[in-house]
Amino acid sequence: MNIRRLLILAPVTVIIVLLQSYLWVPTYDQQTRGNPARMSEYIAASIGDASLLNPILSADSASSNIEGFVFEGLIDRDEELRFRGRIATHWEIYEDAFFYVNESAVIPGLEENNAGAVAELIRKVKHNDDKVNPGLRATLQNIKKISVLPARTFRVTRRAKLTLDDKDETEITLQVSAPYRIKLTLDRVDQDLFHNLSLLLGNGYFESFRGDRFVEAMPSLSQDRLKAYARRILPATEHNPTLVFHLRPDVKFHDGHILDAGDVRFTYESIMNARNLSPRTADYEPVKAIEVIDPLTVRIVYKRLYSPAIGTWFMGILPEHLLNAKALEQEALRLGKDPNTFTMRHSTFNRNPIGCGPFIFKEWKSDQYILLDRFKDYWEGPPNYKKYIYRIVPDLLTQEMEFYAGTVDSYSVQPHQVQRLRSDDRYQSFSGTSFGYTYIGYNMRRKPFDDPRVRLALGMAIDVDKIIKYVLYGQGEQITGPFVKQTEYYNRSIEAVPYDPEGALQLLQEAGWHRNNQGWLEKDGKRLEFTLITNSGNDLRKAILAIAQDAWKQIGINTRTDLVEWSVFIQNRVNKLDFDAIVLGWSMGIDPDLYQIWHSSQTHPEQLNFVGFKNTTADDLIVKIRQEYDFNKQVEYCHRLHEIIARQQPYTFLYMGKWTAVLDKRIAIKTIDSTGNPVYQKIKPTKTGNYTFYFNKWIKLPEVPTFSAEG
């Protein structure tokens, strides 16, 4: 969740802030003359404070910003958006696939149907594939090893109700006599593997495999229940995509401890530990096993097709030696807490993090600042800046004045300032279209938001063009759904919800809401009223609150509004699902995986589908998008999901914004050439508009430097 936070102040307060800024903020030149160390400090300003500094637990942008300096993942994306190694130097992706031998099936041209014969048939056709279907040929060429796994017997225990009428669960023992299995090792993931092999083994070969023939339940179960268990225990086919990461030998945590493959496994296990309540669980649930091959090699096996797999390893890696069960137990005892209830969420680590990133955490004074020092032993070399200071400055006008004076080093330009600051020759500016959007979300667990007609009507009553024109000064575009508009996943055929107050009123009347004598809408004697909230410190969202409140009042809805301090807003209202409707925003990635935000399994407290959207067709599409490796099919599924969400309107989708940021022209990229001389280059954004990509090489100079020809 990456949500910007801004603040509107009353006019009198504005005057006071401006006067205060003018009186006490020294100029940049004054600062550097009195304190040369200021040249080696980068000071950022934020409206809101971080919540906790642990990448597997946090879900807000302020925390994420700091974590990006303190922690590091196995990989990230380069300036061209290609994956590049960070803690990992390189990696391999391949697949092990399995299927049970179906001896009851008829295989064309094969007289004897057993494991050896099936394996030999695949080998034979693989080496003589000139006349086979092109899809089958590609699959066979991708197979580098064929193995026959022996039959085996084992037991599985489950607790379940024997009948629907049972109140209590009974322990069920499943005796399994698994038949022979074929293992195929592939050079790359092949999602069409079994479809193509069915061209060789016969249509229905895999679908007709009956696992229930090999499972006996004690006590006995109905045939339907037995088949359901058998499908899980003995799946006819199984894809196991596999990632193998090779780690750098020279990566240290900030306390000097060497990072190894065990820390990678520990990070995954911490995410999956239900006691930690990690919002990242859905990204790692598809993992079947994670194995430490040696201190610098880790293998991650997935239990099914999962196309976003590699991108999840951007996650910052945690130090096992500081957070494992023994360390947490010792900390609990030291703090006088109960070790049985003490979890990672309670650890002081979250306020004093130790990672392996380019900066070391030094100090955090709540609602004042977070201080980081550069890490001299960072594997890629220490950053040019010696200090990174993250100041909490809740007032945007104060931020602006301090930027002009040089007491903060960057400024996120507000829409009404864009044209003026772009043309100011004191600054270098960067702009682009956000990979994200702003929306009004409705708590669908509560009435009247459980009715899609009401949600649609609320959207129809709001003039989004008015918001873009007068609040954003044209720095935004209307959107219709949940995907990044710059990508092909976004369905451009979906029409925006029209601004139609009369149509909205008609929809509400169809839903049973009618005007009373005072002009308010009511149903069964109860007025249509609710509270719309957002975080304080965001003048754009505050304006949206006022516009929505007025728009809904015009059609007879009494809306209360409330601004809530950021940490309270996230922790007590959003995470605990305690709201009627909210104004929020998402900052999105390139990958179209929307599982965490929209899947029905993610509607619990501390999870990200906090509006409670549930739709079985949408769930199916979300899973298909995750498992689809064919880009065109993935786009097709995304378009259908977009259509469903746009029709159901769990959000009123408002706009994607355009952003502009400015820096002093004296900040540049500094590198050292082969002769030991400094080389200065201009800062340039990447394809996503991320202008801080080379931050570790930034430095602020006394004067605007002469740039190299490459810059």
Encoding tokens for residue 429? Answer: 């500016």
Peptide bond into 219 cis (omega under 30): yes
pLDDT classification of 589: cutoffs 50, 70, 90: confident
- What are the distances in angstroms from CA 540 to CA 4, 8, 162, 616, 655? 10, 9, 56, 35, 12
Encoding tokens for residue 194? Answer: 């079994």
- What are the distances in angstroms from CA 384 to CA 7, 339, 673? 33, 42, 15
Residue 352, classed as helix, strand or coil, is coil
Peptide bond into 702 cis (omega under 30): no
Q: Is the pLDDT of residue 27 over 70?
A: no
User: Is the Cβ–Cβ distance between 75 and 86 less than 8 Å?
Assistant: yes
pLDDT for the residue 421: 80
Given the DSSP bridges, would you call strands 75-77 and 83-85 parallel, antiparallel or unpaired?
Answer: antiparallel
Residue 74 CA to residue 130 CA, distance in Å, equals 41
pLDDT for the residue 34: 54
Phi-psi region of 202 (alpha: psi -120 to 50; beta: other; left: phi over 0): left
Q: Is the pLDDT of residue 413 over 50?
A: yes
* All structural domains of the chain: 11-70+356-434+662-700 (3.40.190.10), 93-241 (no CATH), 436-659 (3.10.105.10)
Q: Phi/psi of residue 39, each to 5°?
A: -65, -25
Is 424 exposed, middle or buried (CB count within 10 Å of its CB: 0-12, 13-18, 19+)? exposed
pLDDT classification of 1: cutoffs 50, 70, 90: very low
Instruction: Write down the H helix ranges in 415-512.
Output: 418-422, 452-460, 464-466, 501-510
Q: What is the pTM of this model?
A: 0.79
pLDDT classification of 166: cutoffs 50, 70, 90: confident
SS3 letters for 541-569?
HHHHHHHHHHHHHHCCCEEEEEEECHHHH
Percentage of the chain beyond pLDDT 90 is 71
Q: How many C-beta atoms surround the C-beta of residue 82 within 10 A?
A: 7
526-546 pLDDT per residue, tens: 999 999 999 987 889 999 999
Q: Which of 703, 115, 57 is nearest to 426 (CA)?
A: 703
Mean pLDDT score of the chain: 90
Q: Is the pLDDT of residue 141 over 70?
A: yes
pLDDT classification of 710: cutoffs 50, 70, 90: low
pLDDT for the residue 586: 92
Residue 586 CA to residue 656 CA, distance in Å, equals 10
616-631 pLDDT per residue, tens: 999 999 999 998 888 8
Percentage of the chain beyond pLDDT 70 is 94
Q: At what angle do helices 616-627 and 631-648 cross, to 10 degrees?
A: 160
Q: At what angle do helices 501-510 and 452-460 cross, to 10 degrees?
A: 160
Q: What is the mean pLDDT of residues 654-663?
A: 88
205-257 pLDDT per residue, tens: 999 999 999 999 998 888 888 998 999 999 999 999 999 999 999 999 999 99
Q: Is the pLDDT of residue 4 over 50?
A: no
Q: Is the pLDDT of residue 269 over 80?
A: yes
Q: Phi/psi of residue 301, each to 5°?
A: -105, 130
55-106 pLDDT per residue, tens: 999 988 889 999 999 999 999 988 888 899 999 999 999 999 999 999 999 9
pLDDT classification of 418: cutoffs 50, 70, 90: confident
Q: What is the mean pLDDT of residues 595-621?
A: 95
Sign, CA dihedral 313-88-265-317, equals negative
pLDDT for the residue 22: 36
Given the DSSP bridges, would you call strands 529-535 and 581-587 parallel, antiparallel or unpaired?
Answer: parallel
Residue 218, classed as helix, strand or coil, is strand
Q: What is the mean pLDDT of residues 493-512?
A: 96
- Which DSSP string do the residues of 301-336 spell out, in sequence order? EESS--TTGGGGGGSPPP-HHHHSHHHHHHHHHHHT
> Hey, what long-range contacts does 189-193 have (CB within 8 A, 24 or more apart)?
189/93, 189/94, 189/95, 189/239, 189/241, 189/305, 189/629, 190/95, 190/97, 190/139, 190/142, 191/239, 191/305, 191/627, 191/628, 191/629, 191/630, 192/135, 192/139, 193/95, 193/97, 193/139, 193/142, 193/239
Determine the distance from the C-alpha atom of residue 682 to the mean position of all C-alpha atoms in its chain, rounded to a whole number.
Answer: 31
